[in-house]
């Protein structure tokens, strides 16, 4: 139920980001695509694909290079004991430092990328299928997210997921960043 509400809210947010101004007749027009921005849009969309590919392969040093030094990861629905916001590339690196030894197989199928009228802003939907080594439980969640870029680097990744599914798989929410 919570995930349905999250996805509905995310869909409304996507609608607001992608729909242009109203005409005099009251009909909403889709904004025209800025062809000059298309190379930027394509590069950023490829960065999103690379982001999930490198993360699933646990190639953390390369993955971190996709982040701006002042990049932020927001996780507004994180459970108690798990951060809701991680600010800066160094903090993102620390937050994910135990990931390679905490999980086994990790894939992100069904990635859907929705560009907006801003070539630096995208909405994404995806699933995560992750093997949690400490609990021996699968962590299979459905996500919605917002990516924002500056100069081809991630400046914001806002991630929406079901925290109950997270707790069921990980147990202690703080265990993700504390396991070594």
What domains can be seen in the chain, in order of their start residue? 2-178 (3.10.450.50)
Are 85 and 93 within 8 A, CB to CB?
A: no
Say whether pTM exceeds 0.75: yes
pLDDT in tens, 121-161: 999 999 999 999 999 999 999 999 999 999 999 999 999 99
d(CA 62, CA 52): 11
Residue 91: CB partners within 8 Å, gap ≥ 6?
Answer: none
pLDDT in tens, 161-179: 999 999 999 986 655 554 3
Q: How many Cβ atoms from other residues are within 10 Å of residue 165's Cβ? A: 17
d(CA 130, CA 141): 9
């Amino acid at each position: 139920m919570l995930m349905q509400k999250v996805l509905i809210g995310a869909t409304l947010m996507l609608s607001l980001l992608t729909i242009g101004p109203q005409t005099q007749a009251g009909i909403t027009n889709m904004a025209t695509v800025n062809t000059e921005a298309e190379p930027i849009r394509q590069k950023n969309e490829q960065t999103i694909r690379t982001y999930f590919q490198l993360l699933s392969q646990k190639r953390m040093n390369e993955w971190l290079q996709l982040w701006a030094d002042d990049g932020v990861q927001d996780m507004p629905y994180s459970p108690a004991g798990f951060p809701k916001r991680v600010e800066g590339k160094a903090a993102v690196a620390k937050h994910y430092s135990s990931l390679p030894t905490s999980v086994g197989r990790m894939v992100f199928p069904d990635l859907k990328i929705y560009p907006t009228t801003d070539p630096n802003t995208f909405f994404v939907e995806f699933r995560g299928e992750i093997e949690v080594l400490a609990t021996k439980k699968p962590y299979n969640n459905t996500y919605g997210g917002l990516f924002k870029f500056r100069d081809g680097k991630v400046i914001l990744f806002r991630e929406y997921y079901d925290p109950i599914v997270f707790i069921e798989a990980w147990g202690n929410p703080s265990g993700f960043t504390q396991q070594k």
